[in-house]
Structure 1
Amino acid sequence: MECTGMNHYDHASRGAPRGHRRTIRSALLGAVALATVAGGAMLPAFAQAPQTMAAPQATMPSFADVVERVKPAVVSVRAKGGEKKMAQASSDRQGSPDFNLPDDHPFQEFFKRFRGGPGDESNRSPRPGQPGPRQGVSQGSGFFISADGYLVTNNHVIDKSSEVEVLMDDGRTLDAKVVGTDPKTDLALLKVEEGGPFKYVELAPEAPRVGDWVVAVGNPFGLGGTVTAGIVSARARDIGAGPYDDFLQIDAPVNRGNSGGPTFNQLGQVVGVNTAIFSPSGGNVGIAFAIPSETVRSVTTQLREKGTVERGFLGVQIQSVTKDIASSLGLQGGEGAIVSRLEEDGPAAKAGIKTGDVILAVNGKAVEDARDLSRRVASLNAGSTATLQVWRDGKRQDIAVTISRMDGTSTAAADPKQDAAVGKLGLSLAPTGDNKKGVAIVGVEPGSPGAEKGLKSGDVIAEVAGKPVQSPADVKAAIEASRKDGKKSVLFLVEANGNSRFVAVQVPTA
């Protein structure tokens, strides 16, 4: 009844001294009670028994059942003797966050404990007879993928460490050995020999959809067993971390120390391994990246069986096909990857692939861009034969290539921007084809020095600084020579629509 009469007595007491408001409220409630006894017909709403309101139905999903099932398989990873003191979800490229808190702020004690601040015991001078503080300790997360002790984490968490231990969800600390690492995907496989069998989780057989709910479990700031939730924000993200970037983007809060920890779908299957965040401050801003389970499965299987990862090698350098490149070559759409350079005696060169060919498909599956081709080639077995569909001279043709094994220094189907973009001129170049002179301009960045000089897609650069050019590398070399000679501009001989003209372009600064 007090709730029912709230609007009435609250309005009546407005402006009254606080000391009298309680008296006014009591008087009004007393009047209502009296009216109910004296004449129920006068206020029938108050004469009825109070109705019990139904509890609202829950509309948000609960992850409690999933967390209860998977949490025992997630561990904290501590690597000693490495070059890093603390691994972080920004793949150690982010600096420590600066919260600019005053000295007397209550959160200062929290950060002293979990970030090794001035009040942390680990930073104090040891007492006589006590060991000194541990140095070179990297902290991250990981998870078991088998009952016999195999577990996954990030390579950067255990990189160059001499000793690795895992802190279990039940409080046990166990030693682990490194089975193998793959820096190109930032994955590592560890093995715990004693203390099993272990609770483990499965890798998801399919990639999640954008918008699916996910749960991240890990060890942020040393707080093991932390659970956060969010959705898949995007797929196939390229963040420049390596040649095979194919990250899931999630908005589940991920922070330093979550590196190597799993992200689960609602079935409790691992859809990704948390490895990086985008953060101006170093803390969570809702943009995190996870290595997809498909990549994790492929890499960990090879590490478990061979101790290393073998990748197919094609012996080409490529760039993605933009709309401008496609238009200049008579292609519909902007898919595929154009070959900008061939490695001498490489598999592609031996098979007859030529500079300027556009690779459209591998074994019948369309190639989206240069990154897609990189991943496709890397997944092929050495010694296997792949059928490449290429675009050459205005038509498609199939070429069989015998894939070789990538060595430790080569890159398979890399996307070298140094061959695609010339200095800071804003130009993207490509060979014009065999037996044709010059280098084709296939893209011009709006507002760039090249655009200001009137250069456009479809133009052909015949000479630079008086020297004939036939590859993007020739153009770059001529510009570099002009810079070393102290020249402020370099002269291009440009051909377009059957006409030739000289264009003086300012030499970009180094």
Structure 2
Amino acid sequence: MNTLFRAFTYLRWPVLIGLLCALAVLALFPELKNSSSNRTISNRPLLESLSPSDVNGWQGPISYARAVARAAPAVVNIYTRKQVSIRRHPLFDDPLFRHYFNNSDIPRQQRMQSARGSGVIVSKEGYILTNNHVINGVDEIVVALADGREARAELKGVNSKSDLAVLKIDLDNLNPIAIGSPDTTMVGDVVLAIGNAFGMGQTVTQGIVSATRRRGFNIAAFENFIQTDAAINPGNSGGALIDAHGNLLGINTANLDQGGAAGGIGFAIPVDTAIQTLNDIVEFGRVVRGWLGVEAQSLSPQLAQSFSLNSTNGVLVTHVYNDGPADKAGLRPGDVIVRINNQMVGDGRWGQQEIGESRPGDTVSIEVMRQGKVQTFEAVLAFEPITS
């Protein structure tokens, strides 16, 4: 017993000193404690916490380099030039100045104004889709390809109501973009915007589809936008909005931030609308729209009350063209159109767009209020008359 006591007495100080040193080291270097616990965690498989179905579908981090490499050769930079007059100083028109200096007939000086934008090659024949506002009113259009080549572009036609334009270049070995399906695009899908942002050259931004079929922003007469948070900066207009596989979903058009900075809300015209514009311009030389053959006005609260309507949704038919689709279907002045193809017409703009996006020969369902009763008519649309 005395031997054990002496041994304890002999060892207690070294043990106590050792414990105090260990505590001091942990206090001075807390990462040693964390690294020890991390080693314990890291020894467990990362996927243990996932369900079997999650593990089977696990793909890990993803790069969009293949999608960009597939689509980027078809995205072009567009540079435009327009001759503008420099405003003459008002002093030149002053009678006293003209009397003494006799130079009132100085001609207005001209200068070239440059702008930038983007476009997308959609065919091996050299057809390019872009925005109408990119090329509207310009005198010269130059297209710069991703491979360094340049060419002057010919304007083949525009769809001003949807803010689209079709250009054509005469170059060989073009790489048209693969066309995607915006109809199957879902909110949350990853998208990439490619374009000539701020004139710096081809730039790629990434985001998701935030919404589809967006309308009512007064960006264009006909609106059916894909909304995205991928940055669409100045110069991106007319560029490509692609999916994660490099397929074209839309033509980038606008950013909601009027200050010009990326506000997280951008819009693209669905590619099916753009391709329809291209096909119409190539085949007919103009955009072909459905035509109902009526003139109408929006409902004011007073008009709505006079027709015993609870809202101002609807348009009052004021004129029906003889032998037009509406006339043949049975519509007449005084009818209030409230729905077209089961879609509310609102103040008339949505109804006009529903007709305008349809094709000649399409049958549309028109719901009207006539003498307090709801009636439905079927009309076969005709070609929109050409207006001078």
Report the TM-score when normalising by structure 2: 0.70
Say if 2:182 and 2:270, in contact at 8 Å, map to a contact too.
no
Letter in 1 for 2:68: V
> Within 1, Cα distance between the matches of 2:218 and 2:320?
23
Change (3 A) 1:404 1:303: closer
The 5 A counterparts of 1:8-157 are 8-10=27-29, 53=42, 61-81=62-82, 135-157=112-134
Which of 212, 231, 240 aligns to 1:262? It is 240
Q: Structure 1 residue 141: deviation in Å? A: 0.6
CA distance in 2, matches of 1:162, 1:56: 61
Gaps in structure 1 of 5+ consecutive residues: 12-28, 33-42, 85-132, 410-510
Q: Does 1:403 align with 2:379?
A: no
Q: Secondary structure at the match of 2:268?
A: strand
Is the Cα–Cα contact under 8 Å of residues 73 and 199 in structure 1 kept in the other structure? yes
- What is the 5 A alignment of 1:291-310? 291-310=269-288
Q: Which residue of 1 aligns with 2:158?
A: 181
Q: How many residues align?
A: 320
In 2: Cα distance, 1:402 partner to 1:75 partner: 37
Question: Is the 1:382–1:403 contact (alpha carbons within 8 Å) kept by the matching residues of 2?
Answer: yes
Q: What amino acid maps onto 2:28 in structure 1? A: Y
Read off the aligned partner of 1:396 and give its amino acid letter: Q
Residues 6/316 of structure 1: CA separation in 2 closer, same or farther (3 Å cut): farther
Quote the Cα distance in structure 1 between the aligned partners of 2:221 and 2:131: 17
- Encode CA deviations 1:103-152: one digit per residue, 9 max, x unaligned: xxxxxxxxxxxxxxxxxxxxxxxxxxxxxx98322210111111221111
Q: TM-score, normalised by structure 1?
A: 0.54
User: Does the 8 Å contact 2:177/2:248 carry over to 1?
Assistant: no
CA 1:338/1:266 → structure 2, altered by over 3 Å: closer, same or farther? Answer: same
Are 1:287 and 2:268 matched, yes or no?
Answer: no
Contact 2:317 2:337 in 1 (8 A): no
Structure 1 counterpart SS, 2:112:
coil
Select the residue among 156, 165, 168 that pairs with 2:142: 165
Secondary structure of 2:274's counterpart equals helix
Partner of 1:135, secondary structure, is: strand
CA distance in structure 2 between the partners assigned to 1:254 and 1:7 by the alignment: 52
Q: Give the number of the structure whose residues are more often helix, by fraction.
A: 2
**Alignment partners' CA distance in 1, 2:312 and 2:244:** 34
1:357 CA displacement: 2.4
Is residue 207–residue 294 contact of structure 1 (8 Å, CA) maintained in 2?
A: no
Distance 1:137 1:270 in 2: 28
Do the aligned partners of 1:249 and 1:287 also contact (CA within 8 Å) in 2? yes
The structure-2 alpha-carbon separation of the partners of 1:354 and 1:166, relative to structure 1 and needing over 3 Å to count, comes to: same
* Pair 1:338-2:315 in alignment: yes
Amino acid corresponding to residue 378 of structure 1 in structure 2: G
1-side partners of 2:126 and 2:251: how far apart?
Answer: 18
Question: Are the counterparts in 2 of residues 147 and 200 from structure 1 also a CA contact under 8 Å?
Answer: no
Q: Which amino acid aligns with 2:342?
A: A
Q: Displacement of 1:366 after TM fit?
A: 1.5
Match of 2:355 among 345, 362, 377: 377
RMSD: 3.9
Q: Distance in 1 between matches of 2:66 and 2:72?
A: 10
Structure 2 residues not aligned, in runs of 5+:
1-23, 48-58, 86-109
1:56 Cα shift?
7.7
Name the SS of the counterpart of 1:81 in structure 2. strand
Name the counterpart of 2:208: 231
Question: Is 1:316–2:295 an aligned residue pair?
Answer: yes
Q: C-alpha separation between the residues in 2 aligned to 1:68 and 1:349?
A: 50
Aligned CA distance change for structure 1 residues 293 and 375 (closer, same or farther; 3 Å): same
What is the percent sequence identity of the aligned residues?
A: 31
Aligned to 1:470: none
Q: 1:56 to 1:145 in 2, by over 3 A?
A: farther
Shift of residue 360, structure 1, vs aligned partner: 5.2
What one-letter code is carried by the residue in structure 1 that aligns with 2:192?
V
